[in-house]
Amino acid sequence: MTSNSLKKPERSLPFHWYYNPKVFQKEIDKIFNDEWIYVCHVNSIEKNHYRTLNINNKNIVLVKSKSENISVFYNTCLHRGSQIFEDQEGKMKSPVIICPYHQWSYDAISGSLINTTSIKLNNFDKKNYNLQKVNFHIWKGLVFINLKSNKKFKIQSIFQYYDKTVEKIDLENYAVGHIWKKKVQCNWKIYWENYSECLHCPNIHPELSELVPLYQRRLVDIQDHPEWEILKKTESHTKYHGGLKNGAQTWSSDGTSQGHTIEEVQSELESRGQVYISTWPTMFLGIYGDHIRIVRLIPINSEEVELTAEWLFPESTLADRDYKMSNVVDFGILVMNQDARISEVNQRGVYNLGESSGVLMPEEYIIKNFHKYIKNKIKI
Ligand code: FES
Ligand SMILES: [Fe+2]
């Protein structure tokens, strides 16, 4: 089998694409307003609670009812357009949504207008003023929305990088143990590019590179090496072929999984260490020895992106009082902070040479695919 790596240097995107508001607007119109956007795991939100999400100037609200029914609406009252939910998340006071302006009331599950506060009018048909629903789909407990009302969710096409290993896990029943948010001062593509290569691993992630020895080679997969087949046969140091260092079981500060494992995927993880799936432009999901970590990326503007990470565990793991979740959470945050910092450094460098572009080296084949995807979508 041939190697994944690029066979010649490839032009990267023009540097101004990482800050130009016109390019960013194109990306919003052609990518974020068109693709399936990851919102959150259903269990990250309690019953009788809501959560809002901004995508550029659009604001949507996800409501989980007492009966755990999920509804997603545009966060706009049909009277004169007021925003309804002002906070990022909160508790519903009742199964009725009430606009803060003139107090029109809507059913929280269906979005139907229940009452206005005005003098009755004969020819006013309430049916025409229901909350506007947002197209959404729940896959294995993961909530995705699409701002195009007619788009169908097709699992074969939404993940650019997919691995069937995920199908063995009953993700919908997982508990969300921790949520972490961070704003990073870089263009959203810079964070994705950073995620897509390991050239930076040894110097940016010393702890992670110790845990995953292959990363010391600056590779994400042994098959990225042009001579990987020979290496596999001849090298005595198999630890550099993939998987975690000897004795480690998961991505955690001390490498242990404290006796808890995701049994269904152990054989897969033994040789590989971790498994990833990703959907551009908003989410990647990592499967590790004892937990799952999902990272959502939502751009705030052309030079800022918001990260939200969710840590998922089998319920039995969190029920164990001796299990220290901080062992995996702290490690994940350490790695994401390292990536965030260097992504900000990357961003600060792009302004000097706006019309030029950089170059992609052999290991950066995923970035090449990412750029192809962007160009194809925005057609500049
Ligand atoms: S704008 Fe909501 S009730 Fe008037
Ligand atoms: Fe990284």
User: Hey, which of 61, 75, 76, 82 would you mutate to test ligand 1's pocket, going by the most ligand atoms within 8 Å of its Cβ?
Assistant: 82
| Ligand 1 contacts CB of residue 59 (under 6 A) | no
CATH 3.90.380.10 domain position(s) in the chain: 1-36+158-380
Which ligand number lies closest to the CA of residue 340? 2
| Ligand 1 contacts CB of residue 101 (under 6 A) | yes
Which ligand number lies closest to the CA of residue 118? 1
Q: Residue 232: which pLDDT band, with cuts at 50, 70 and 90?
A: confident
Whether 348 shows a pLDDT value over 90: the answer reads yes
pTM of the entire predicted model? 0.96
Please give the share of the chain, as a percent, with pLDDT higher than 70.
Answer: 99
Q: Residue 321: which residues within 8 A CB-CB, separation 6 or more?
A: none
Residue pointed to by tokens 């799936």: 277
Provide the pLDDT for residue 105. 98
User: How confident is the model over 23-64, as pLDDT tens digits?
Assistant: 999 999 999 999 999 999 999 999 999 999 999 999 999 999
User: Hey, which of 74, 78, 101, 116 would you mutate to test ligand 1's pocket, going by the most ligand atoms within 8 Å of its Cβ?
Assistant: 101
Which ligand number lies closest to the CA of residue 204? 2
User: How confident is the model over 96-125, as pLDDT tens digits?
Assistant: 999 999 999 999 999 999 999 999 999 999
Provide the pLDDT for residue 61. 98
**223 C-alpha to ligand 2 centroid (Å):** 19
Residue pointed to by tokens 């009953």: 170
CATH 2.102.10.10 domain position(s) in the chain: 37-152
Superfamily name and number for 37-152: Rieske [2Fe-2S] iron-sulphur domain (2.102.10.10)
At position 347, the amino acid (one-letter code) is Q
CATH of the domain spanning 1-36+158-380, picked from 3.40.50.620, 3.50.50.60, 3.30.43.10, 3.90.380.10: 3.90.380.10
